[in-house]
Amino acid sequence: MEALADDLALLSRLESETPPQPINPFKLKPLLDDIVNDAKRLSAGKHVIKLDCDSRLEILGNANELRSAFSNIVFNAVNHNPKGANIDIHAGEDANFLNVSIRDDGVGIDSTEIPRLTERFYRVDASRNSHSGGTGLGLAIVKHTLNRYNGSLIVSSRIGEGAEFLCKLPRT
């Protein structure tokens, strides 16, 4: 119940507070390294989790908010994929965007479910509830965090082939 209250408070703040505070430039790799280490502990060796991120890559933003967004996606990949699944995190940039991709080769998500993934309390599997994992707010938090930075979340998936969650943040 406490996790639900915390997530609701965070989501409310993300929806109402503009711009995010504080905004500072920071190196992305240490933040992603921390998330990967936490994900490996959560996985307890059941998944292969890899990170590809240039150590020089910088982002301008609130580190705590972005940590929450990226970790929600990575932890979902751990929690919703079978033993042995690969989870690959890649961060890079192009002329206009900083891109963080979280891709797995697990069970995948039906294409009809993808448009609703970022809705509050939406769960792909109706049998899942707060006792079996999460508050149902994680991807809503991701969406609203990225929106605050004029970014976007692009989800692609095929059943039996896994999923990719691509976070696109404009370069500043």
Q: Render pLDDT for 28-66 as a digit per residue (tens, 0 to 9).
A: 999 999 999 999 999 999 999 999 999 999 999 889 889
- Quote the CA–CA distance of 96 and 99 in Å, as a whole number: 10
Q: Which residue has the tokens 């690959």?
A: 88
Give pLDDT, residue 132: 43
Give pLDDT, residue 47: 97
The encoded tokens of residue 80 equal 């919703």
SS3 label, residue 98: strand
Stretches where the chain sits below pLDDT 50 are 1, 126-132
Give pLDDT, residue 130: 41
Measure the N-to-C terminal CA separation of the chain; round to a whole number of Å.
38
Give pLDDT, residue 28: 96
Dihedral in degrees, nearest 10, Cα atoms 2, 74, 16, 63? 100
SS3 label, residue 101: strand
Give pLDDT, residue 13: 63
Ramachandran class of 136: left when φ > 0, alpha when ψ lies in -120 to 50, beta otherwise: left
Homologous superfamily assigned to 2-170: Histidine kinase-like ATPase, C-terminal domain (3.30.565.10)
pTM attached to this predicted model: 0.85
* Phi, psi dihedrals of residue 37, rounded to the nearest 5°: -60, -40
Q: Where do the structural domains in the chain lie, given as residue ranges?
A: 2-170
Mean pLDDT (the chain) is: 84
